[in-house]
Structure 1
């Protein structure tokens, strides 16, 4: 498996995988990603910024994520405590294609995100997920993330929605 920076020609497949993830969350009776986020425009913006990464094997996109190096407004206030203070990288919109789940792809994407963060000089990586998204919470635990507390999303169509913030010290 290799990791590449997403380009516009990947956008349709990225949206397809996102729709699969939205369907899975709906089947779990979760409202996460059910209000129009992430959208095609969000992924296009990530592509334009060069922060969308794809997990690719034999030319097939198996998963993707956004990697950000700027502070996330949603992470400023947390009911709990982050493991570190100061600069951090964050990962968002982590998706694995249907038919590829349970094969360690999410774990490899997290590991690649950790590598990107280390190379950029960050001491930790933060991420969040829905309080009832147990499959993602298991994946985060397996990757070494620690739950730090509850936060509320700031901005966008999910503004005010509760998430659990996680952090991994590198």
Structure 2
């Protein structure tokens, strides 16, 4: 089994992270997914994730092959939901998860979700909230596989997203 190393990203990682997003955007376009087809997330978005200590990478043999932003600062767009969250307790948010070409088919989406859950528990937080575009079947499958509950619809800058939550035990 391959060994993956999950760690907080550094600004020096930006040039290795950004191609993951370019690859993901193109892959989504080819699948017909509308998410991330308007330029977002921008390179500056990822840079800000790093500056705010939200950015995490997965390395394999010293090479960055995946990325996720994990925040304990909440998410303003989650304040209003068409539906209901499972609880109103503190939560972490997982955003901008990408897996590069070299990471495909290795279960890294689930791996990063589980690592985010570990971070939550370390900080005494027992809830994780995430969202994705309606047509992002890959992410929705990962959320389902990892035990996330569909909670409703949220509004983001470019449309609506399906929102999910998991209570950690």
**2:110 equivalent in structure 1:** 107
Distance 1:115 1:94 in 2: 16
- The two structures have a TM-score, normalised by structure 1, of 0.93
- Gap regions ≥5 residues in structure 2: none
Residue 82 of structure 1 is aligned with which of 81, 85, 99?
85
Distance 1:42 1:48 in 2: 10
Matched, 1:46 2:46: no
* Structure 1 vs Structure 2 CA RMSD: 1.0
**2:7 equivalent in structure 1:** 4
SS where residue 128 of structure 1 aligns? strand
Distance 2:63 2:137 in 1: 27
- Gap regions ≥5 residues in structure 1: 154-158
Compute the displacement of 1:160 (Å): 4.5
Q: Is the 8 A contact 1:71 1:88 kept in 2?
A: yes
Q: Is the 8 A contact 2:58 2:65 kept in 1?
A: yes
User: Size of the alignment, in residue pairs?
Assistant: 165
**2:166 equivalent in structure 1:** 168
